A = this chain, B = another copy of it.
Amino acid sequence: MTGKDGGAPLEPIGNSPVVILVRPQMAENIGTTARAMANGGLFHLRLVAPRDGWPQDRAWRTASGADRILEAIEVFDTVDDAVADLHHVYATCPRPRHIVKQVLTARGGAAELRAATRRGLRVGLLFGPERTGLDNEDMARADGLIRYPLNPGFMSLNLAQAVMVMAYEWWLTEDETPSRELMTNETHVATKGELENFMRHLLAELDECGFLRNEQKKPGMVRNLRHFFTRGEVTEQELRTLHGVVTELSHGRKIRQG
């Protein structure tokens, strides 16, 4: 995709899902939708019969720089036209009633979208108008409905928020970030030898100042300190700081002791 300004695309786009806003009412929401799409690596946006026509300046003001998505927007008169070149279409829908349809979670839907694009199929996601959502005719054109698991006691979901959840789940289908990881930046996690070196320093000073004078309690106290210092990973840099802390605290005492 190259926008009207002729610039390079935000990202390689490939065969990513097409987001289709059906009869959107507020141009601001088209802009915030584009922003949410860019966050999650979605770049193809289509509009079906936007209430106020297209383009609308207000969309650019809320897109936070996702301009190329707006500039490449395609506008259609009907849902049938907007999905004609796609192979699979999913419709987002908070409360489907009286219909027989596959219903997927956002995560389940994202997985199917990814699987289909890997097969070379073109896929799309339908989002309904702000107030009413998709109507029964729109949903009858979809391969499945996507219903987010969210608080049933408060279902008022902003259009761009709805797009954000799908964009986020789409991005996660290929993300391999570990769920928890110590970021060490310039330093490194300390080895057990480095930690033990610090523990010897600490215990020697604690012995000298009398903190461990109760020989009966001493082994337990030492073990508790070890438990504390092994609870999380410690870095080399932090051990240097801790060595300094122990040295300086001891130094003050030694000076006072003359």
Please report which residues of chain A, range 31-47, place their CB below 8 angstroms from some CB of chain B when the two chains form the complex.
32, 35-36, 38-41
Q: Is A153 an interface residue (CB 8 A)?
A: yes
CB pair A40–B100 under 8 Å, yes or no, is no
B65–A156 CB distance below 8 A: yes
Does A119 touch B at the CB level, under 8 Å?
Answer: no
Let me know if A158 is at the binding interface, CB within 8 A.
yes
Interface-side segment among A53-61, A164-172, A199-207: A164-172
Contact of A145 with B by CB under 8 A: yes
Would you call A238 an interface residue if the criterion is a C-beta within 8 Å of the partner chain's C-beta atoms?
yes
Encode contact with B along A171-184: 1 for CB under 8 Å, 0 otherwise.
11001011111111
Cα(A185)–Cα(B153), bound, Å = 21
Q: What's the minimum C-beta distance from A30 to chain B, rounded to whole angstroms?
A: 15
Which residues of B are found within 8 Å of A64, using beta-carbon distances? 156, 158
Beyond A39-B161, A111-B179, A165-B165: 16 further Cβ-contacts under 8 Å? A35-B158, A35-B161, A38-B153, A38-B156, A39-B150, A40-B151, A64-B158, A96-B183, A101-B183, A102-B180, A105-B180, A108-B180, A149-B171, A150-B171, A160-B161, A164-B165
